[in-house]
Structure 1
Amino acid sequence: MPAISALLRPRPLVLTLCSALLATAVAAPSALADPTDQGRSWKVTGPPGSPTAVVALDPTDGHPSLAVRRGDRTVLEPSPVGLVTERADFSKGLTFTGRTDRAVAESYTSTTGKSERRVALMTESRFRFRTASGARVDLLTRVARDGVAYRYVIPRDQGDVLRETSAFTLPAGSDAVIGKYRADNELPFVRYASATEPPAGSYSMQALFNTPGGRALIAESDLNGTYSGAHLTHEAGSSTYKVGLWNDEPVQVEEGSGLTTPWRAVITGDLATVTQSTFVDDLAPPSRVRDTSWIKPGPALWTWLAGGKEAGQSLDAQKKYVDYAAERGWPYEVVDAGWYFKPGEWEVIDPEWQTKNWMPELVRYGAAKGVKIQVWLHYTLLTDPVEREKWLSTLERWGVTGVKIDFMDSESQERMRWYDDVLEATARHHLMVNFHGSTIPKGMQRTWPQVLTFEGVGGEEKRTNTAEHLASLPFTRNVIGSMDFTPGAFHRPYRPNVASDAGELGLTVLYESGIQNLAGTPESYDARPEARRYLEQLPARWEQTRLLTGDPGRAAVLARQAPDGRWFIGGTFAGAARTVDVPVRLGAGRWLVETVTDGPSGLVRTPHAVRAGDDLAVPVVADGGFAAVACRWHPGRTTCES
Structure 2
Amino acid sequence: VTPYPDFDIAALNDYAHSKGIKLMMHHETSGSIPNYERHLDKAYDLMNKYGYNSVKSGYVGNILPKGETHYSQSSVNHYLNAAKKAADKHIMVNAHEAVRPTGLARTYPNLIGNESAMGTEYRNMSPGHVTILPFTRLKGGPMDFTPGIFRMDIGSFVPGSKEHKRATVANQLALYVTMYSPLQMAADLPEHYAEKMDAFQFIKDVPVDWSESRYIDAEPGEFIIAARKDKNSGNWFVGGVTNEQSRTFDLKLDFLTPGKQYKATIYADAPDADCVTNPEAYVITSRTVTSSDILPVMMASGGGFAISIMELQTATIAIIHT
TM-score strictly above 0.5: yes
Aligned mates of 2:198, 2:104 — CA distance in 1? 36
Aligned mates of 2:150, 2:265 — CA distance in 1? 21
1:462 aligns with 2:122: yes
Q: Which residue of 1 aligns with 2:255?
A: 586
- Relative to 1, partners in 2 of residues 1:358 and 1:382: Cα closer, same or farther, differing over 3 Å? farther
- Relative to 1, partners in 2 of residues 1:384 and 1:540: Cα closer, same or farther, differing over 3 Å? closer
Aligned mates of 1:611, 1:540 — CA distance in 2? 24
* Counterpart selection for 2:85 from 425, 434, 443: 425
Aligned mates of 2:311, 2:43 — CA distance in 1? 48
Aligned mates of 2:198, 2:178 — CA distance in 1? 18
Deviations 1:135-168 (A, max 9, x none): xxxxxxxxxxxxxxxxxxxxxxxxxxxxxxxxxx
* Counterpart selection for 2:174 from 488, 506, 510: 506
- The higher-RCO structure (CA 8 Å, 6+ apart) is 2
- SS of corresponding position for 1:630: strand
Deviations 1:236-265 (A, max 9, x none): xxxxxxxxxxxxxxxxxxxxxxxxxxxxxx
Shift of 1:610: 4.0
Structure 1 unpaired stretches of 5+: 1-338, 344-356, 637-642
* Counterpart selection for 2:16 from 362, 366, 369: 366
* Counterpart selection for 1:570 from 209, 225, 239: 239
Shift of 1:404: 0.9
Letter in 2 for 1:597: A
- Relative to 1, partners in 2 of residues 1:432 and 1:439: Cα closer, same or farther, differing over 3 Å? same
Shift of 1:540: 3.7
Shift of 1:371: 1.0
Which deviates the most, 408-417 or 528-537? 408-417
Aligned mates of 1:624, 1:358 — CA distance in 2? 42
* Counterpart selection for 2:58 from 406, 427, 446: 406
- Relative to 1, partners in 2 of residues 1:550 and 1:615: Cα closer, same or farther, differing over 3 Å? farther
Q: Which residue of 2 aligns with 1:395?
A: 47
- SS of corresponding position for 2:139: helix
TM-score (norm 2): 0.80
Assess if the C-alpha contact under 8 Å between 2:256 and 2:290 holds in 1: no
Aligned mates of 1:417, 1:438 — CA distance in 2? 11
Shift of 1:595: 1.0
TM-score (norm 1): 0.41
**Structure with greater proportional strand content:** 1
Aligned mates of 1:403, 1:522 — CA distance in 2? 22
Aligned mates of 1:381, 1:618 — CA distance in 2? 47
Letter in 2 for 1:560: R
Number of matched pairs:
283
Letter in 2 for 1:572: V
Aligned mates of 2:103, 2:134 — CA distance in 1? 17
Structure 1's consecutive aligned runs of 4 or more residues displaced over 6 angstroms after TM superposition are none
- SS of corresponding position for 1:489: coil
Aligned mates of 1:429, 1:367 — CA distance in 2? 20
Deviations 1:544-575 (A, max 9, x none): 11111111111111111112110111110123
- Relative to 1, partners in 2 of residues 1:635 and 1:388: Cα closer, same or farther, differing over 3 Å? closer
Deviations 1:495-526 (A, max 9, x none): 221xx211111112211112101101111112
* Counterpart selection for 2:268 from 582, 586, 597: 597
Q: Which residue of 2 aligns with 1:220?
A: none
1:520 aligns with 2:188: yes
1:620 aligns with 2:299: yes
Aligned mates of 2:90, 2:33 — CA distance in 1? 18
Deviations 1:400-431 (A, max 9, x none): 22111111661222112212321221112222
Aligned mates of 2:313, 2:86 — CA distance in 1? 47
- Relative to 1, partners in 2 of residues 1:415 and 1:548: Cα closer, same or farther, differing over 3 Å? same
Q: Which residue of 2 aligns with 1:474?
A: 134
Aligned mates of 2:193, 2:252 — CA distance in 1? 30
- Relative to 1, partners in 2 of residues 1:372 and 1:632: Cα closer, same or farther, differing over 3 Å? closer
* Counterpart selection for 1:496 from 149, 160, 166: 166
- SS of corresponding position for 2:11: helix
Letter in 1 for 2:23: I
Aligned mates of 2:285, 2:293 — CA distance in 1? 17
Aligned mates of 2:17, 2:166 — CA distance in 1? 37
After superposition, where does 1:31-430 map in structure 2 within 5 Å?
Answer: 340-341=3-4, 357-379=7-29, 380=32, 383=35, 385-407=37-59, 410-430=70-90
Aligned mates of 2:252, 2:34 — CA distance in 1? 48
Aligned mates of 1:613, 1:411 — CA distance in 2? 49
Shift of 1:634: 7.0
- SS of corresponding position for 1:423: helix
* Counterpart selection for 2:205 from 537, 556, 573: 537
Assess if the C-alpha contact under 8 Å between 1:549 and 1:582 holds in 2: no
Q: Which residue of 1 aligns with 2:99?
A: 439
Identity %: 28
Aligned mates of 2:41, 2:313 — CA distance in 1? 56
- Relative to 1, partners in 2 of residues 1:395 and 1:610: Cα closer, same or farther, differing over 3 Å? closer
- SS of corresponding position for 2:20: coil
Aligned mates of 1:632, 1:612 — CA distance in 2? 12
- Relative to 1, partners in 2 of residues 1:387 and 1:557: Cα closer, same or farther, differing over 3 Å? same
- SS of corresponding position for 1:536: helix
Aligned mates of 1:461, 1:607 — CA distance in 2? 32
- SS of corresponding position for 1:557: strand
- Relative to 1, partners in 2 of residues 1:385 and 1:619: Cα closer, same or farther, differing over 3 Å? closer
Q: Which residue of 2 aligns with 1:548?
A: 216
Assess if the C-alpha contact under 8 Å between 2:135 and 2:220 holds in 1: yes
Aligned mates of 2:305, 2:48 — CA distance in 1? 40
Aligned mates of 1:502, 1:402 — CA distance in 2? 29
- SS of corresponding position for 1:478: helix
Assess if the C-alpha contact under 8 Å between 2:95 and 2:113 holds in 1: yes
- Relative to 1, partners in 2 of residues 1:598 and 1:418: Cα closer, same or farther, differing over 3 Å? same
C-alpha RMSD of the superposition? 2.5
Which deviates the most, 571-580 or 466-475? 571-580
Q: Which residue of 2 aligns with 1:629?
A: 308
| Larger Rg, first or second structure (1 or 2) | 1
Assess if the C-alpha contact under 8 Å between 1:382 and 1:422 holds in 2: no
Letter in 2 for 1:566: N
